[in-house]
Structure 1
């Protein structure tokens, strides 16, 4: 993934107010991120831990969202809807996000199950356990990376639909 500047991050948030953009806290490790192994930039706000931010390149433009962690208990171990990791190396939680534009201002939101600390890019790059004799681990890894990129793009396009 191509890196983002701080200005691109702040202006990319399609569901944020001017105040929310101004108060955004960049990830602590922002200056040392391994951009080539990221499919999106996601992090939890260190001052407001229930807030998360997610930004990716969509059609050549940085597109981002503010997400809110929804408290609650899941009846069983959840699977992330983005990386679809079946080995569950981390917690998965519900995040809620306002839609962009008029729909979001009218209260329209979408919830999704995601890795609690946005570990999806690392999860899909981990070699999958061989499912059968002759299983191509590298091909499966590449397929998971493409699937995560596709899921990210689709979600952000859906959230941006109708942005004025």
Structure 2
């Protein structure tokens, strides 16, 4: 992902108001982000449990999405797999992230959801730059580049559902 500015991020959101986008907190480590290793920028809102944000390039435009997820904790023995990067996590490492749809469907309360890594670090897991304490990634015959392409395609399909 190419580096983006705070203004780029705030104007990219498609499923929240301009006021909400203006007030949302950016990642604390925004100045040190490893842009070359990111396929999308994702972060949790530490001031609002159950809220996260994701910014990606989609159809040639920067697209920001406000996400919600349940704040309940799962037992450590429970394991789930992220639908984007196919990384498995114990406990609450994967959450059902839901996003309000855009346009009239969103105003009627419709949303779409996808199971994602709760920390939204899919790009780093795929590249082996971040590891899961217990479990993690299955050995695959796909190259890292092919796994990255699959993750990007899975995210693109999710973003498409928001407006479709």
> TM-score if structure 2 supplies the norm length?
0.84
Structure 1 residue runs of 5 or longer lacking an equivalent are none
2-structure distance, mates of 1:111, 1:72: 17
Aligned position for 2:146: 143
Aligned position for 2:102: 100
1-structure distance, mates of 2:56, 2:146: 19
Aligned position for 2:30: 30
Contact in 2 for aligned 1:14/1:160 (Cα 8 Å): no
Which of the pair has more CA radius of gyration? 1
Q: Tell me by how many angstroms 1:49 deviates.
A: 2.9
Structure 2 residue runs of 5 or longer lacking an equivalent are 130-136
Number of residues paired by the alignment?
A: 154
Q: Tell me by how many angstroms 1:73 deviates.
A: 6.2
Mapping for residues 50-129 of structure 1, pairs under 5 Å: 50-72=50-72, 76-86=78-88, 88=89, 91-126=93-128
Q: Tell me by how many angstroms 1:110 deviates.
A: 1.2
1-structure distance, mates of 2:19, 2:139: 48
> TM-score if structure 1 supplies the norm length?
0.84
Q: CA deviation digits over 1:62-110, x for unaligned, max 9?
A: 0111001124566941100100124x37811111110111111110011
